[in-house]
Structure 1
Amino acid sequence: MSKRVKQFISAITARITEADRSFVKKYLNNEQAAFFWQMNLPDQRHALNVAYTALELAAGHKDIDRQLLITCALLHDVGKVKGDVSTADKVLTVIFDKFSPDWAKQWGRLGRGSKIDNLRHAVYIYYNHAARGAAMLRAAGVPEKITEMIAKHHEAPAAGEPAELSLLKTADSLN
């Protein structure tokens, strides 16, 4: 089964347990948790899966700031806000990205309205959620080391990037 099919099934069956809620409370302060809880349920589930995977990946590393890693994993998709993009528009966006990413990047536009506007908005969010989330967190006074990692979580690996960012990228790609 393809990764995208698994993601779709995970999205439509997403649940948050009490253990998940405790995990969020352990790693995020109240202000950060508010950003986490403003994502839709599938994105919350995805962020939790990324965080759990990141913890597993960090097990083999001694010099990892686990608090930073898990905070970033839980917050990496906060640029995707609940009610902002429909599931159908997300599916179409992934298809656009698969078959015509250059066109999709140019076509996407911030702003909701008509069905086409909403789809263009979904495409924009797909490509820009990392920068959008980092800007939201930065405006709320979240530390720069967190906002920088969130802003860069979809960028290609770079020489000298923090090990926590590398682990975040890997964990995200596995989920």
Structure 2
Amino acid sequence: MIKRIRQLYKAIRAGITAEDESFINEYLTLDERKLFDTMAVYDKRHALNVAASAAKLVRQYQITVNFRLMMKAALLHDIGRTADTVILSDKILLVLLEMLPPKLQHFIAKDKCQGFIGRRRQALYRCMHHAFIGAVKLRKIGALDVAAVVERHHNKPDDNDDSELVVLRKADEAN
């Protein structure tokens, strides 16, 4: 619970610096950057924190990875949630719903819904399936290697997971 409170505090205070902008532009293509820019500022900040944590893990444990792919995946892992479809309260509600029995999670809706409540139901679906949604977007721009990592970043770990995926998961969990 304390981790979730810290996450909320970070989200409220999130911001992007000129140094962050340079870092983003160093690793992302123009099309990837357009996808990155669709995220809310708190998700962008989270992605930057994940990238920094991933880089630190790679250095600290001398893990062999495709570093450019690792940074791209870290920056783009949450692009399935966009600022125009998911608001901070949706993410908070999802955390609360995840604590409820599955039969009470019927509130979540895949298809487009009308009104404020309907949009929140759809936003919860996007939060739950953002890895798949983000991978679809990445495939559309030809970023197949990044899509493969992004799509699986919330899957249960497997012995055959690429080192980029393993590091991304650890860095994401830490942030």
* 1:10 maps to amino acid: K
After TM superposition, list the pairs within 5 Å mapping 1:28-47 onto structure 2. 28-47=28-47
2:148 corresponding residue in structure 1: 148
Please state how far the C-alpha of 1:101 moved relative to its aligned partner.
4.8
Please state how far the C-alpha of 1:16 moved relative to its aligned partner.
0.2
2:76 corresponding residue in structure 1: 75
Distance 2:91 2:65 in 1: 33
1:171 corresponding residue in structure 2: 171
* 1:154 maps to amino acid: H
Please state how far the C-alpha of 1:121 moved relative to its aligned partner.
1.0
Structure 1 stretches lacking a partner, 5+ long: none
Please state how far the C-alpha of 1:10 moved relative to its aligned partner.
0.7
TM-score of the aligned structures, taking structure 1 as reference length? 0.93
* 2:47–2:78 CA contact under 8 A, matched in 1: yes
TM-score of the aligned structures, taking structure 2 as reference length? 0.93
Structure 2 stretches lacking a partner, 5+ long: none
State the aligned residue count: 173
Please state how far the C-alpha of 1:88 moved relative to its aligned partner.
2.0
Please state how far the C-alpha of 1:29 moved relative to its aligned partner.
1.1
Inter-CA distance 101–2: structure 2 relative to 1 (3 Å threshold): farther
Query: What's the CA shift string for 1:20-48, capped at 9, x where partnerless?
Result: 00110111111111111111101000100
Inter-CA distance 102–173: structure 2 relative to 1 (3 Å threshold): farther
Moved runs in structure 1, 4+ residues, more than 6 A? none
Inter-CA distance 54–123: structure 2 relative to 1 (3 Å threshold): same
What CA RMSD, in Å, does the superposition of the two structures yield over aligned residues?
1.5
1:87 corresponding residue in structure 2: 88
2:65 corresponding residue in structure 1: 64
* 1:107–1:120 CA contact under 8 A, matched in 2: yes
SS at match of 1:99: coil
* 1:93–1:122 CA contact under 8 A, matched in 2: no
Distance 1:31 1:88 in 2: 28
Please state how far the C-alpha of 1:85 moved relative to its aligned partner.
1.6
> Identity of paired residues, percent?
34
